[in-house]
Amino acid sequence: MALENASSPSLSPPTLFAHLITIASPSTIKHAISNTAIKIKNIALDDPRRVTHSLKVALAITLVSMVYYLQPIYNGIGDAGMWAILTVVVVFEYTVGATLSKGMNRGFATLLAGALGVGAEAFGSLFGPTIKPIVLGFLVFFLVGAGTFSRFIPSIKKKYDYGVLIFILTFSLVAVSGYRVDKIIQLAHERLSTIIVGGLTCIIISICVFPVWAGEDLHKNMVKNLEKLASFLEGFGNEYYRVSDGDKSFLTAYRSVLDSKATEESLANFAWWEIGHGKFRFRHPWKQYLKIGVYTRQCAYHIEALSGYLHAKDEIPSEFQKIIQEPCIKMSSETGKALKELANSMNLMVHPLSSSIHIENCKKAVDDLNTTYKVSMVEDQWDILENISVIAATSILVDIIKCVEQISEAIEELSKQAHFKKPKDKTSNEAGKPHILHRGAVKPVGVENEQELVTVTVSSGDEVLHEART
Amino acid sequence: MALENASSPSLSPPTLFAHLITIASPSTIKHAISNTAIKIKNIALDDPRRVTHSLKVALAITLVSMVYYLQPIYNGIGDAGMWAILTVVVVFEYTVGATLSKGMNRGFATLLAGALGVGAEAFGSLFGPTIKPIVLGFLVFFLVGAGTFSRFIPSIKKKYDYGVLIFILTFSLVAVSGYRVDKIIQLAHERLSTIIVGGLTCIIISICVFPVWAGEDLHKNMVKNLEKLASFLEGFGNEYYRVSDGDKSFLTAYRSVLDSKATEESLANFAWWEIGHGKFRFRHPWKQYLKIGVYTRQCAYHIEALSGYLHAKDEIPSEFQKIIQEPCIKMSSETGKALKELANSMNLMVHPLSSSIHIENCKKAVDDLNTTYKVSMVEDQWDILENISVIAATSILVDIIKCVEQISEAIEELSKQAHFKKPKDKTSNEAGKPHILHRGAVKPVGVENEQELVTVTVSSGDEVLHEART
């Protein structure tokens, strides 16, 4: 912050001087320190796993360095210990998947590049000491160039970017090391073993001590994103008709979904490396999450367009708007409920069932809306001009219903691929296409953070079809 | 690709076997190789700077390793040479800004951590050989923990993430090195000098040999994004009324804008580190680009909602739709022209002037539309129900005009901050708020790639106000 201020070109020297005096006054310093402390505290409280992660990394490095420091074989820390510390520092990432990805990339790339490097050394030696540097120079130039270019290939960039980097590094080091082959092999053995020690330390601590799984994070992220959209849509109707008060944070929460692509893709990439954990098997269909993500964002874009009609109007609803109030509120709240249901079933990893009821209800509300439009148009002569924004808002709501149907299909597909628990449905014949039941009553009880107690009760006639507790 | 297939859990052993045989057949191999070759060629053709970058990295590493290899002081490559190669491999990034950022982070972090490490060693020695490892262990644990946590602080993560990583690495290495202080200082001197050699090699090659400037890329990206939105809007009207044929790629090109946030932010971050280059001074207002980016995406979200109304209708335009054809096509094409103008003025770094004419024209078209609505509603009795989507599309178009106004204001602000050339306007009194001129004729001639020849001619009466050629 201070750095940015100081480098601002608009401060003339006297202003800058006054500025520095202001900065240096004791009260300003005190203020700045307490501000920073509050910021740091918030970052820690925002996600306490950040503190745990910091302690884990500190533990891993202290462990590795102490082992090498105390080992009586080395007089002080040797080359080998250095490589172990270096490995821990660069390999230990926030999530298990990222750590595994980096560790395995590093290990295999070192092995491959080491072998190729020894080969290059031996090949170069065939030409005698004068030409050898030239031959090696060409080999290094060619392989480094090819390696660097390969990092632009999307499939390599996605999963093996770090491996290629380490390959380039190790090959260059080994090829021009100037050692005889037997000495290289001894060195390589030593270095590889320390890399393995460092890498394994990271991986073990990362998995065993409060693990942060990229897959679990991705899963929770998707659920949260769906819930954010659901909250907006559930609240939109009341907000549009000014019949609600209180906390309005749900009106802006959806915005983070708009930019969720990068996070989702990197989490899905890391999740690919992870072993089975918790509810997730090894090779959980993480790719399908990306598809759900695409449709979720699609929905968010429409919500963004819809939200414009909310802020545009501070006045009381028009007569025309009031006439379509019931189907309008119904459409938005039922879409919200459908999304909340989908989020819930994804969270509990059960087959989405009752969401289809809400989608059907949405469609009924659309029919109602159309009927209302038809009737009111014949009875009263409404001025289109005054009601363009109302008509547009309802039209976007209809588009949102289509988006929610797409999300629903994608989650349905996920539930097949990931073998979600099927509800013990006694009446419906096809699990994939549930009957439209009389009514679906969903009571989420205290949906907060990890520990959820959700009772999903879908009653067909008098029969309770499904009850899930986690 | 092959790896992903092989690891797919759905392949049963016999299928897998058949699959492998298919893979191994000569024709398949030939096919796969030619496919890969085509892919690689496309990646290279897509942005030839990728090839240049690969050659630059290869050159830097070959240079550094050859210098150390051929140096007669070292018998074979020493520790020092190793650090130079390592520095080049990890510091040399695609853009100048990223290379500068990594190089400077690495240099300063090594310096600071080295000094602190020596201090820690000296401090530890005060306690005698038995307690020293414990004291050092605590120091390492504390500083590594604090350093790792600081990487979660957004302002540090943005610009100094790599520096903190190197700080952690160097401090751990030096603190537990077990050497006496004088030996450490000698080692540190050697290591720092090799890091400086490696870093400078990267920075010099990166800047002098076909430089890729993050700032320039950001600038061009923004221009391209604006042009993509402009092309969609210019073409939308004709597409909506099915009066166009030919290339329809403009209908989907805007989609890349939706997910442009991550790229823009990282480019702006790297651009912050760059020295002045080409049209850009040191400390060009890159932050303002991010603001323009926000509004550009806002506009893209609305376009995404609008595009739904395009694909929904394959049938011929309705009667009602035809009545509003003229203002509708005008609205969309004038918005497109305004955006294209803004993109052009940003590209040429001249004050945006003629875009306001198009925005005024848009507003006139909106008035025309409203008049048409009013008249047609009185004369004919249109069924709203049949025309909801038409009304909604026009309403979204009006929202897009608002977005374009925001973009225009943000670019206006940028043109002030970055001191864009002002057109030599003889008639308008206020440069900020130009008069609405008779007509603005803009003829982009062959707007392709870098080498553009654009003639911007804004005529007021018979006078040519401004002509810019780059």
- Both A355 and A306 in a single domain? yes
The verdict on a CB contact (< 8 Å) between B58 and A370 is no
pLDDT for position A147 = 95
- B/e letters for A161-175, b = 16+ CB within 10 Å, e = fewer, are bbbbbbbbbbbbbbb
pLDDT (tens digit per residue) in A263-274: 999 999 999 999
Q: In chain B, how many domains are there?
A: 2
A149 interaction partners in chain B (CB closer than 8 Å): 40, 44, 50-51, 54
Q: Pseudo-torsion of CA A60, A62, A63, A67, nearest 10°?
A: 140
Q: Does the structure show a pLDDT above 70 at A195?
A: yes
A330, A441 contact by CB (below 8 A):
no
pLDDT at A379: 65
Same domain assignment for residues B302 and B244: yes
Residues B159 and B234 occupy one common structural domain: no
Residue A441 confidence (pLDDT)? 39
Of A409, A424, A439, the one marking the end of a domain is A424
- State both tokens at B42: 């496309």
CA distances to A136, B354, B427, B469 from B457, in Å: 59, 9, 15, 11
B408 in Cβ contact with B356 (< 8 Å): yes
* In chain B, % of residues over pLDDT 70: 78
| Whether the Cβ atoms of residue A233 and residue A240 lie closer than 8 Å to each other | no
Same domain, A288 and A417: yes
- Top residue of A135, A275, A388, A405 to mutate, by most chain B CBs within 10 Å, is A388
CB distance B375 to B265 below 8 Å: no
**Cβ B54–A148 below 8 Å, yes or no?**
yes
Give the range among A437-451, B67-81, B226-240, B395-409 with minimum mean pLDDT: A437-451
Residues of A in contact with B62 (CB under 8 A): 137, 140-141, 144
- Measuring CA to CA, which residue among B329, B392, B406 is closest to residue B362? B329
- For residue A359, being part of any structural domain is answered with yes
Buried b (16+ CB within 10 A) or exposed e, A78-114: bebbbbbbbbbbbbbbbbbbbbbbbbbbbbebbbebb
Question: What pLDDT is stored for residue A313 in this prediction?
Answer: 53
User: Which residue on chain A is closest to B382 by alpha carbon?
Assistant: A377
Asked whether residue A463 is assigned to any structural domain, the reply reads no
pLDDT bin (cut points 50, 70, 90) of residue B326 is confident
Q: Taking residues B58-63, what's their average pLDDT?
A: 93
**Residue A13 main-chain phi, psi, to 5 deg:** -50, -50
Last residue of a domain, one of B167, B188, B208: B208
Q: Is the dihedral of CA A175, A179, A180, A185 positive or negative?
A: negative
Q: A154 with A169, same domain? A: yes
Q: What is the mean pLDDT of chain A?
A: 80
Residues A254 and A387 reside in one and the same domain: yes
Is A57 contained in some domain? yes
pLDDT reported for residue A465: 31
Beta pairing, strands A439-445 & A453-460: antiparallel
Please check whether residue B38 lies inside any domain of the structure.
Answer: no
Burial of B110 (0-12, 13-18, 19+ CB in 10 A): buried
Pairing relationship of beta strands A453-460 and B463-464 according to DSSP bridges: unpaired
Residue found under tokens 């074979």: B76
Averaged pLDDT score across all residues of chain B: 80
Say which residues have a Cβ less than 8 Å from residue A114's Cβ, sequence separation at least 6. A170, A174, A188, A191, A192
Does B444 have pLDDT greater than 60?
A: no
Does residue B430 form part of some domain? Answer: no
Q: How does residue B435 score in pLDDT terms, banded at 50, 70 and 90?
A: very low
B156 close to A (CB below 8 A): no
Range of lowest pLDDT (A28-32, B16-20, B178-182, B305-309): B16-20
User: Which of these ranges, A381-385, B315-319, B435-439, has the smallest mean pLDDT?
Assistant: B435-439
* Same domain? A166 vs A148: yes
- pLDDT at site A312: 54
Contact flag B142-A58 (C-beta cutoff 8 Å): yes
Structural domain containing residue B407: 214-424
Last residue of a domain, one of A175, A208, A241: A208
The whole-number average pLDDT for the span A331-357 is: 90
Q: Quick one: B229 and B103 in the same domain?
A: no
pLDDT of residue A25: 77
pLDDT for the residue numbered B283: 85
Segment A153-182 shows an average pLDDT of: 87
Q: Which of A188-202, A392-406, B307-321, B378-392 has the highest mean pLDDT?
A: A392-406
Q: Is the pLDDT of residue A61 over 90?
A: yes
Q: What DSSP assignment string belongs to B114-159?
A: HHHHHHHHHHHHTTHHHHHHHHHHHHHHHHHHHHHHHTTSHHHHHH
How far apart are alpha carbons A170 and A182 in whole angstroms? Answer: 17
- Residues A139 and A120 sit within 8 Å (Cβ to Cβ): yes
Asked whether residue A410 falls in the same domain as residue A301, the answer is yes
A66 shares contact with chain B (CB less than 8 Å): yes
- The ipTM estimated for the assembled molecules is 0.80
pLDDT recorded at residue A94:
95
Whether chain A has a CB inside 8 Å of the CB on B172: the answer is yes
B125 in a structural domain = yes
Q: Provide the pLDDT for residue B464.
A: 32
With cut-offs at 50, 70 and 90, classify the pLDDT of residue A437: very low
pLDDT in tens, B172-210: 988 877 666 677 777 777 778 888 888 999 999 999 999
- Does residue B219 sit in the same domain as residue B167? no
The whole-number pLDDT of residue B237 equals 86
Q: What's the gap in Å between the CA of A459 and the closest CA on chain B?
A: 36
pLDDT of residue A21: 58
Q: A259 and A126: one domain?
A: no
Please check whether residues A327 and A298 belong to one and the same domain: yes
Q: Confirm or reject contact between A386 and chain B (CB < 8 A).
A: no
